[in-house]
Amino acid sequence: MAAALTSPRIMLLLGSAPDVVRCVHWPKQAVSKIVAINNAWRVRPDWDLLVHAGDFPSDRLPPGAWLRQAQIFSASHYVPAQNAFGGFVYAGGTMAMTAAYWTIHSQKPDVLAFLGCDMIYDQPEKTHFYGVGRADPLRNDPTLQSLEAKSSRLLIHALRRGTLCVNLSDLPHSRLLLPRLSFEEIRHLSPQRLADMKAGVLAGIQSQAVEEAERIEGELGYFYEDGKYWNHLDEIDETRLADIDRLWMSAVGDLTARPAEECSAAE
């Protein structure tokens, strides 16, 4: 008799968009671990891992009483992880991407489910769940010309490591272009269903566009081991980065515009 398939290892990645509070009453046992980004540790007390920016104010970190078995990670941990995927210039220098690559690299989940990471700032009076915050992904930065393209690149690189990235958002628009699932679908995600979804996404990826994007990335060589790409802006051609972004977008085509239930292998 064949061995029973184990349940998928699902990790929840929390950003700070206002709708992240939807997860407050979600049962913890539905996921393996919860990863919070920056201030998102304040959303619920049972988070497991916190990934914060190197310049995150120390007075905004959780007090010691909150830590329990939780762990906190910052630049010394996520820079090597980001480098393993080609570096910040190509992966995108914003914390949603940074925390995602770190989680995939260090935790190796079967599914990485995003919530509160849509990077849509259409409510000036409440940009974040705690009120008004800095819209970091919208800053003038050559690595963030297309957040949509950066999420497409993430989707492909994650699949290579065995991780399917999905978006739990129920907003009408998101700059995080990943297959969408509901929390209920995540809770009941079977190994076979996950395998079908991964196969469906992989089948829809345009390999020629991926190969060309990676060829140009290697040719340009915008890799800075310390992660401080902002010290090398005079070396970075924004036009060439835009070319790479277009290739990553074309590599996924309309995959991320389709409902998640359509991202499955053909019978």
- Give the Å distances, CA to CA, from 158 to 99, 103, 109, 110: 13, 10, 10, 10
Q: 27 is written with which tokens?
A: 């049962």
Beta strands in 139-208 (DSSP E): 164-167
Q: pLDDT, tens digit, for every residue of 94-122?
A: 999 999 999 999 999 999 999 999 998 87
**Given a cut of 80, is residue 245 above it in pLDDT?**
yes
Read off the pLDDT of each residue in 125-142 and give the average, rounded to a whole number. 74
The phi and psi torsions of 212 (rounded to 5 degrees) equal: -70, -40
**Given a cut of 70, is residue 2 above it in pLDDT?**
no
The residues near 91 (Cβ < 8 Å, ≥ 6 apart) are 82, 85, 97, 98, 101, 143, 150, 153, 154, 157
Contact 168, 111 (CB under 8 A): no
User: Closest Cα partner for 86 from 105, 72, 73?
Assistant: 105
Q: pLDDT, tens digit, for every residue of 3-24?
A: 456 889 999 999 998 899 999 9
- Give the whole-number percent of the chain exceeding pLDDT 90: 73
Other CB atoms within 10 Å distance of the CB of residue 259: 9
Query: Euclidean distance between the first and final Cα of the chain, in Å?
Result: 24
**Given a cut of 60, is residue 62 above it in pLDDT?**
yes
The phi and psi torsions of 169 (rounded to 5 degrees) equal: -60, 145
Give the DSSP H/E element, type plus range, for residue 218.
helix 207-220
**Given a cut of 70, is residue 175 above it in pLDDT?**
yes
Q: pLDDT, tens digit, for every residue of 189-227?
A: 999 999 999 999 999 999 999 999 999 999 999 999 999
pLDDT at 58: 86
The phi and psi torsions of 233 (rounded to 5 degrees) equal: -60, -30
Residue 171: helix, strand or coil by DSSP? coil
Look-up of token digits 């916190």:
50
Beta strands in the chain (DSSP E): 10-14, 33-37, 49-51, 71-73, 111-115, 164-167
**Given a cut of 70, is residue 265 above it in pLDDT?**
no
pLDDT at 264: 54
